[in-house]
Structure 1
Amino acid sequence: MKTISAGSGEAATGGAERTPAVRWALAGLSLSMLLSSLGTSVANVALPTLAGTFDASFQAVQWIVLAYLLAITTVIVSVGRLGDIIGRRRLLLAGILLFTVASVLCGLAPSLWLLVAARAAQGLGAAVMMALTMAFVGETVPKARTGSAMGLLGTMSAIGTALGPSLGGALIAGPGWRAIFLVNAPAGVVTLVLAYRHLPVDRPEAATGRARFDHVGTLLLALTLAAYALAMTIGRGDFGWLNAALLAAAAIGVGVFVRVETRAGAPLIRPAMFRDPVLSASLAMSALVSTVMMATLVVGPFYLARTLRLEEALVGLVLSVGPVVAALTGVPAGRVADRFGAPRMTVVGLGAMAVGAFALSTTPASFGVAGYLAPIVVVTAGYAVFQTANNTAVMADVPPDRRGVVSGMLNLSRNLGLITGTSVMGAVFALASATNDVTTARAGAVATGMRVTFAVAAALIVAALAIGLGSRMPARRAARGAL
């Protein structure tokens, strides 16, 4: 078996990152990120087809998407911590295998609810893949090249998200809906082989901590996150009593979780971690930025179709520009973060996003598609720079025994932002459009809704920028005190 020896990640200095073994290891991690991101977006386009195939309502087939999202959200921190304890390599291999097998089961599912169950299992495998690919960066490349590696993973995530709708549509039109899941099988096998052969082996001491896994904390966190995710997603935008009850349950769950973790001997998440201003700020900024990014997906289709009167094919083409820009920007953003410093580039990325969002809030509809696309390109490029730099700033200095859980927390903050953005930015858009049904709103009302939504988005980015700048003040004071 060809692997990088244990500890090679710590010793990978100088030109080690250019060796074939490290390149193949990064290839395996990149495919892992690509597949898990593809799974998030590829099924959405199939929902109308699946509703007809299984003679089910939209609310029922929506669980095909929701099951995957819930599985990732509820366990991503826990699987990251489990990797820290039992060994990241063996858990990542298990996650890739589970994802691949579950993809086949999705493609063969004879009924809707068996498909939903298989999608939940697929989401569990994806959670492992998402949490541990970032954690492995510290073991495969030297610290000076962390930004470049994070940029590569960000690029693969963007490609997976962008590729999902177009690939799904092509497969449904050709082989049929089952192919959108079965296509993961050969790619999953390749990913598994690359990970098995080229990822660094687990340290012997990693397997000795199995008894230290926080089962109570894991269950509490999973239930709390599930309650929040359901509160933000069920009801298709109508916030009723069930949503309120779930949100209240989530709030209570947070309090109970913090109390339990404070008293636990080996907590899933150490409360003291949040005293680190860099980590706390990074998590908050990631959630805010992801909330804003959902505005482009929530508002964009309606603005392009209702206000600019584009046909469906052109709407899809315009919407794909954002993810393509993120994919092209990811790797260069990582190199820039390595050269100029992750904290500085985090601020630069947020500044670009604020400028783009403000431009969208003031651009008149008469500017047409170009008036929409130019700010979107700025927002998306800024997002790619921010995401790469923010992840680099956090992961570069994380102790080896906490990389999995911190990586899981970063992914969780992003997921929670996306979930929140779907509900909150959608509600802002509907309220600003002054209509109960955006799909039938007048062109002017949709344009007004778009401008107000992105004004709110710009305010959220400014808040994130303030958090980022504020988190740097303690470090500056400490540096001055050391002089």
Structure 2
Amino acid sequence: MKPVIAGQGEAIEGSAQRTPSIRLALASLSLSMLLSSLGISIANVGLPTLAQAFDASVQDVQWVVIAYLLAITSLIVSVGRFGDLIGRRRLFLAGIFLFTLASALCAFAPTLWLLIGARGLQGLGAAIMMALTMAFVGETVAKAKTGSAMGLLGTMSAIGTALGPSLGGVLIAGFGWQAIFLISVPLGTLTLLLAQRYLPADRHTPKAGRGGFDPLGTLLLALTLAAYALAMTMGRGLDMTLLLAACIGAGLFVFVEARVASPLIRLAIFRDPRLSGSLAMTALVSTVMMATLVVGPFYLSDGLELDAARVGLALSVGPFVSALTATPAGRLADRFGARRMTTVGLTGMATGCLLLAVLPETLGVGGYIAPLVVVTIGYALFQTANNTAVMSDIGADQRGVISGMLNLSRNLGLITGASAMGTVFVLASATGDIAMAHPQAAANGMRITFAVALALIAAALAIVFASRVQARRIG
């Protein structure tokens, strides 16, 4: 059977219907989103087992996670642009194949460092899938249904994040650590078959209209992002040498991109206040969401003195709510407008952060879970609506790179949040060892951390209104 859309399939954007073929195309995109997010969360639970299996230190074993995240963060924009140049379907299929092959290599790795290398390859495959999944939405569904499709992808991402720890624990207990990687092989094979059969064919645009590849810009951006990610994740604190290298790399990247004939990223796109504002808001919001993942466990165990089982249950609320609300959020974005729902989502997050700063100390675990639900619903609505607003207005020749930039801004926010918000909590708790903090110290840390989070969401709301005013002036 031929792909759903042949070379002339440009009409799909305006006339796509919910045929079985389109549903199966969306299924392949959804599975790719599930696999890439599962690849992050399922490995975390296996770190203690891997340390024992390879007789390695915790610091060495952490590279199993870092290598995956590093590959995604440093390459996601570059592979998105590459897909725009050579054909998104072709690269997407290659990414799924690489992810699946690397998953098998991880399972059979005889040494820890070969496992880490295989995880880097798996991360490259995940970067391709993440960068191109959202780009395919515009070629697969009608524009009026973009929000619903984005919501579905958000749901699958949340399910992958929520499912990873519990599924990983069951697989390790029953079959050994190899199973947490082998599980992706049949899923990846199914995804590859669906994508090959039902995704739209690449459009044959003239070479003159494609532009060229930018090897120097690609290398500079990858090195810059790798330096920043490592600065935020290595050791106990911020690595200033790596951060300085990232700043220098960013300056060199801008210098090069302003002068090459076919830049990796056209700097002129940042003159669009809506796009630049959307990217900045994504980074801010992701920073705040990371606070719930980094700060939450310490507050629940130290501040509320919950045991490990109840801490796990409380932490599972966020991903569970996100999985339930992302698809309805997409429908709301389609019905009421993506940009309006972006503001509603940010307002919900601001309300939840305010409640997280004041309620848990007086209401206990219920005072933590209820505001967390509000924050998560707001986040699901914001992310779906914001992605919809951006991807609906982008030309077909730029969808890959813009999708990559949206994912990059989210990843940078998560990486920054893990370091920065964790530091805020430690400083606000005024204790040297946060694992030994007294309940009152943990409560103080919680209150101040989410006060800072509230300020970040307020900044995101300010960006919404400023970008709208600027857009009106330009328009």
* TM-score tier after normalising by the smaller chain length: over 0.9
Q: Is the 8 A contact 1:347 1:469 kept in 2?
A: no
Equivalent residue, structure 1, for 2:433: 437
| TM-score w.r.t. length of structure 2 | 0.98
- After superposition, where does 1:323-402 map in structure 2 within 5 Å? 323-402=319-398
Q: State the shift of 1:204 in Å.
A: 2.1
Q: Is the 8 A contact 1:11 1:142 kept in 2?
A: no
Give me the CA root mean square deviation: 1.4
- Give the partner amino acid of 1:54: F
Distance of 1:386 and 1:200 partners within structure 2: 28
Q: Is the 8 A contact 2:155 2:323 kept in 1?
A: yes
Q: State the shift of 1:163 in Å.
A: 0.8
Equivalent residue, structure 2, for 1:469: 465
Q: Is the 8 A contact 1:87 1:206 kept in 2?
A: no
Q: State the shift of 1:142 in Å.
A: 1.1
Matched length: 475
* Partner deviation per Cα, 1:380-411 (whole Å, 9 max, x = no partner): 00000000000011000100000000000000
Equivalent residue, structure 2, for 1:295: 291
Equivalent residue, structure 2, for 1:416: 412
Distance of 2:43 and 2:253 partners within structure 1: 33
- Look up the SS of the partner of 1:309 in the other structure: coil
Q: Is the 8 A contact 1:17 1:140 kept in 2?
A: no
Assess, with a 3 A threshold, how the Cα gap between structure 1 residues 150 and 9 changes in structure 2: closer, same or farther.
farther
Q: Does 1:272 align with 2:268?
A: yes
Assess, with a 3 A threshold, how the Cα gap between structure 1 residues 102 and 61 changes in structure 2: closer, same or farther.
same
Q: Does 1:46 align with 2:42?
A: no
Distance of 2:199 and 2:207 partners within structure 1: 17
Q: Is the 8 A contact 1:85 1:208 kept in 2?
A: no
Distance of 1:399 and 1:353 partners within structure 2: 31
- Look up the SS of the partner of 1:204 in the other structure: coil
**Stretches of structure 1 lacking an aligned partner (at least 5 in a row):** none
Equivalent residue, structure 1, for 2:445: 449
- Look up the SS of the partner of 1:42 in the other structure: helix
Distance of 1:75 and 1:92 partners within structure 2: 14
| TM-score w.r.t. length of structure 1 | 0.96
Q: Is the 8 A contact 1:103 1:122 kept in 2?
A: yes
Give the one of 253, 257, 264 matched to 1:261: 257
Equivalent residue, structure 2, for 1:426: 422
Runs (4 or more) in structure 1 with deviation over 4 Å come to 206-211
- Look up the SS of the partner of 1:55 in the other structure: coil
Q: State the shift of 1:13 in Å.
A: 6.0
Distance of 2:353 and 2:309 partners within structure 1: 25
Identity of aligned residues (%): 70
Distance of 1:120 and 1:210 partners within structure 2: 29
Assess, with a 3 A threshold, how the Cα gap between structure 1 residues 119 and 207 changes in structure 2: closer, same or farther.
farther
Q: Identify the range of structure 1 (115-124 vs 361-370) with the bigger mean alpha-carbon deviation.
A: 361-370
Equivalent residue, structure 2, for 1:238: 237
Distance of 2:394 and 2:414 partners within structure 1: 25
Q: State the shift of 1:478 in Å.
A: 5.2
Q: State the shift of 1:17 in Å.
A: 2.7
Assess, with a 3 A threshold, how the Cα gap between structure 1 residues 14 and 124 changes in structure 2: closer, same or farther.
closer
Assess, with a 3 A threshold, how the Cα gap between structure 1 residues 209 and 112 changes in structure 2: closer, same or farther.
farther
Equivalent residue, structure 2, for 1:121: 121
Q: Is the 8 A contact 1:224 1:254 kept in 2?
A: yes
- Give the partner amino acid of 2:442: V
Equivalent residue, structure 2, for 1:99: 99
Q: Is the 8 A contact 1:87 1:207 kept in 2?
A: no
Q: Is the 8 A contact 1:86 1:207 kept in 2?
A: no
* Partner deviation per Cα, 1:208-250 (whole Å, 9 max, x = no partner): 8788111110000000000000000101x323xxx11110111
**Stretches of structure 2 lacking an aligned partner (at least 5 in a row):** none
Distance of 2:261 and 2:417 partners within structure 1: 35
* Partner deviation per Cα, 1:121-142 (whole Å, 9 max, x = no partner): 0000000000000000000011
Give the one of 389, 402, 405 matched to 1:406: 402
Distance of 2:129 and 2:369 partners within structure 1: 32
Equivalent residue, structure 1, for 2:4: 4
Distance of 1:37 and 1:185 partners within structure 2: 15
- After superposition, where does 1:46-195 map in structure 2 within 5 Å? 46-195=46-195
* Partner deviation per Cα, 1:409-452 (whole Å, 9 max, x = no partner): 00000000000000000000100111111111111111111111
Q: Identify the range of structure 1 (460-469 vs 5-14) with the bigger mean alpha-carbon deviation.
A: 5-14
Q: Does 1:283 align with 2:279?
A: yes
- Look up the SS of the partner of 1:17 in the other structure: coil
Q: Identify the range of structure 1 (226-235 vs 204-213) with the bigger mean alpha-carbon deviation.
A: 204-213
Distance of 1:298 and 1:9 partners within structure 2: 45
Q: State the shift of 1:205 in Å.
A: 2.5
Q: Does 1:23 align with 2:19?
A: no
* Partner deviation per Cα, 1:65-113 (whole Å, 9 max, x = no partner): 0000000000000000000000000100000000000000001111100
Distance of 2:437 and 2:17 partners within structure 1: 54
Distance of 1:13 and 1:315 partners within structure 2: 45
Distance of 1:409 and 1:167 partners within structure 2: 30
